[in-house]
Amino acid sequence: MQWIYIDGSFYPKAEAKISVFDHGYLYGDGVFEGIRAYNGRVFKCREHIDRLYNSAKAIALEIPMSKEELTEAMLETIRRNELRDCYIRLVVSRGAGDLGLSPTKCPRPTIVIIADSISLYPDEMYENGMSIITSSVRRNSPASIDPQIKSLNYLNNILAKIEANNAGVPEALLLNEHGLVCECTGDNIFIVKNGIVMTPPIYVGALDGITRQSVIDICSRLGIPFQEREITLFNVYGADECFLTGTAAELIAVTKVDGRVIGSGKCGPVTARLLEEFRRLTRSEGREIY
């Protein structure tokens, strides 16, 4: 039986419910984190919890638990489900209110924690790479919604995902209003050119991804040249390698963008090396669950 944490109690999956007046449901008013556990350890636990609280603070949402209390609730959710390798979805919504937009009518946030298995992409894609398209949907402007806020409102990403689905590919690339590459619908993007690993800066409209930062740290430790710089589609099409990063996706090669073959058309050596090192880290680092 799968157990779901809601506001201090555990419920079987079929009985796990929130109010239809919850502003997370009505307006997408809330924040969340997607977190991974490997081999009995929660990877980058502190970084994910810190980002959740920073996102909540940015939207003036006060989480009614300390970071350690919330972390322990997450760990207990994993224990209740007897998992060692899993994906954790931690959601904090504004809570139940009325049908008005104002958050002042929501006296207490709703906290939901789900722990389950996940397999975002098939194994062969990690070996052979994936094809993606560029969406016609532009990324939300950072002047409107700061991309560092990991909020429950993903409609911008979903519209681009619909285009990817219609094109028969698993991901779509989002550009900002100036035509600069931001990220994909659920992943950050990197390219490799002449041995240099590059990724767009946060200010263009990209999420400050935990896996993104892990890859940057790996580059530094391994002595792989790295640049955070503005990137256009011209740079992507002409890259030697391209890959995506995300908590669920981990690190996966892109071998075709908008019908253009990237590099050799296979997972490149830099991408393969970074993936190997990232997976080594996930097997050896993290907050102990049991």
The residue annotated as part of the active site, out of 17, 44, 67, 150, is: 150
C-alpha span between 212 and 249 (Å, rounded): 11
Provide the 10 A C-beta neighbour count for residue 15: 10
Provide the 10 A C-beta neighbour count for residue 148: 15
CA atoms within a 13 Å half-sphere pointing along the CA-CB vector of 244: 31
Do the Cβ atoms of 6 and 16 come closer than 8 Å?
A: yes
Residues shown for the chain: 290
CA angle, residues 12, 14, 16, in degrees to nearest 5: 65
Give Cβ neighbours of residue 174 (< 8 Å, ≥ 6 apart).
135, 137, 138, 139, 156, 157, 160, 182, 183, 184, 185, 205
Give Cβ neighbours of residue 180 (< 8 Å, ≥ 6 apart).
200, 204, 205, 230, 231, 232
Whether 150 is catalytic? yes
Do the Cβ atoms of 236 and 242 come closer than 8 Å?
A: yes
In a 3-state reduction of DSSP, which class is residue 182? strand
How deeply is 223 buried, as exposed, middle or buried, from its count of CB atoms within 10 A (0-12, 13-18, 19+)? exposed
The catalytic residues are 150
